[in-house]
């Protein structure tokens, strides 16, 4: 045998030399759930180790993460029912605690990067990412609301906005709205290929944001989120988002869509982000809690595989634990 691939695997030192993919905490974004109030830290039952937190606890969390070298956060608000309406107007209301919290975070930690969520679902009485009229999710009317949210978020100090709504034309509409008001440096991480997936369950529990039941309300998000059977269509979305001015292209979920991550990586120059979503993380946590998998081994392997597929940025609920592992600190959950 002239070729013996095992020669390059025979010691740790040689394996280090031949390692093709390196994942560091620099690539990770940590999602945090926020709630209005004081002293709140409620665990999300379907996503153990993750909490709905009020501002002081969010600040504490961010401080701890920054010390671990984890500097980027995507923030999601849980909104009380009294603030929900048909058009999601609380999303840009001056009293909105989410916007106030962004200002506080950036005042305290100017060097961190905070990413927003642009979509109506936390604020919408129907639980949809857009305005529901006559049983349908209205595209163009929703764009006007998304732009108002985007401007309010840019004003509040978010570094990057994350339109997760999947309306047509939203990246251009938001980019134009931001530029007209002088927010030329506020970035956009487009949820480019966001699939109508069954893996968002724990997230919707955390925010109480699932589509509401009603005869005139679509029961799922299939008229705007992508069909899990489709791949070519991801190229159309990516072309549009690129042309419309996105700074990052995101694929969501991540693990069941590694082929899509790879496809976009090979066809586009923009950095590719992958959202390792709540249901994907919950599955792994559950298996580890049952003693069926070892968290310290399965978790980093999972993140590495997403990176290897082509995602330069990974949004994951495991970001903090990964950061601890890199520093050889114990994980306590």
Active site residues: 194, 252
Question: Cβ of residue 31: shortest distance to ligand PBG, in angstroms?
Answer: 6
The Cα 222–Cα 224 span in angstroms is: 5
Is residue 317 within 8 Å of 278, Cβ to Cβ? yes
What are the backbone angles phi and psi of residue 121, rounded to the nearest 5°? Answer: -55, -35
State which residue, 101 or 282, has the beta carbon closest to ligand PBG.
282
Q: Is 157 left (phi over 0), alpha (psi -120 to 50) or beta?
A: left
Instruction: Show contacts with ligand PBG in window 137-156 (CB under 6 A).
Output: none
Question: Cβ of residue 111: shortest distance to ligand PBG, in angstroms?
Answer: 25
Q: Rule CB under 6 A: is residue 204 a binding residue for ligand PBG?
A: yes
Q: Rule CB under 6 A: is residue 119 a binding residue for ligand PBG?
A: yes
Is residue 73 within 8 Å of 112, Cβ to Cβ? yes
State which residue, 202 or 310, has the beta carbon closest to ligand PBG.
202
What are the backbone angles phi and psi of residue 126, rounded to the nearest 5°? Answer: -90, -10
| 248 bridge partner residues | 189
Question: Cβ of residue 103: shortest distance to ligand PBG, in angstroms?
Answer: 22
Instruction: Show contacts with ligand PBG in window 162-181 (CB under 6 A).
Output: 164
Structure tokens, 33: 């759930």
> Among residues 195, 203, 257, 318, which is the contact residue for ligand PBG, using CB under 6 A?
203
> Among residues 277, 284, 285, 325, which is the contact residue for ligand PBG, using CB under 6 A?
277
Structure tokens, 278: 């709540």
Q: Rule CB under 6 A: is residue 278 a binding residue for ligand PBG?
A: yes
Structure tokens, 56: 């002081």
Is residue 73 within 8 Å of 115, Cβ to Cβ? yes
> Among residues 71, 92, 117, 324, which is the contact residue for ligand PBG, using CB under 6 A?
117
Residues that bind ligand PBG (CB under 6 A): 117, 119, 121, 129, 164, 200, 203-204, 277-278
């Amino acid at each position: 045998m002239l070729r013996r691939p095992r020669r390059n695997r025979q010691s740790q030192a040689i394996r280090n030399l031949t390692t093709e993919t390196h994942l560091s905490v620099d690539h990770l974004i940590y999602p945090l759930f926020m709630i209005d109030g004081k002293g709140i830290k409620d665990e999300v039952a379907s996503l153990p180790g993750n909490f709905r937190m009020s501002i002081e606890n969010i600040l504490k969390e961010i401080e701890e993460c920054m010390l671990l070298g984890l500097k980027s956060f995507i923030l999601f608000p849980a909104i009380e029912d009294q603030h929900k309406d048909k058009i999601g107007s609380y999303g840009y209301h001056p009293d909105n605690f989410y916007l106030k919290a962004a200002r506080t975070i950036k005042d305290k930690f100017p060097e961190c990067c905070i990413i927003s969520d642009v979509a109506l679902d936390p604020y919408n009485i129907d639980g949809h990412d857009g305005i529901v009229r006559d049983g349908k999710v209205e595209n163009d009317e929703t764009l006007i609301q998304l732009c108002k949210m985007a401007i309010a978020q840019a004003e509040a100090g978010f570094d990057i906005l994350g339109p997760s709504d999947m309306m047509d034309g939203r990246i251009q509409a938001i980019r134009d709205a931001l530029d007209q008001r002088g927010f030329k440096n506020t970035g956009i991480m487009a949820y480019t290929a966001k699939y109508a997936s069954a893996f968002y369950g724990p997230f919707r529990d955390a925010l109480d944001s699932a589509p509401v039941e009603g005869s005139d309300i679509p029961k799922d998000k299939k008229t705007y989120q992508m069909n899990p059977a489709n791949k070519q269509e991801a190229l159309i979305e990516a072309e549009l988002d690129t042309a419309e001015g996105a700074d990052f292209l995101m694929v969501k979920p991540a693990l069941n869509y590694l082929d899509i991550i790879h496809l976009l990586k090979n066809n586009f120059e923009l950095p590719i982000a992958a959202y390792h979503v709540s249901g994907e993380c919950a599955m792994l946590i559950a298996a580890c809690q049952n003693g069926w998998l070892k968290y310290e081994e399965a978790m980093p392997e999972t993140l590495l595989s997403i990176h290897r597929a082509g995602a330069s940025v990974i949004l994951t609920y495991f970001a903090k634990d990964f950061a601890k592992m890199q520093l050889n600190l114990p994980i306590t959950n």
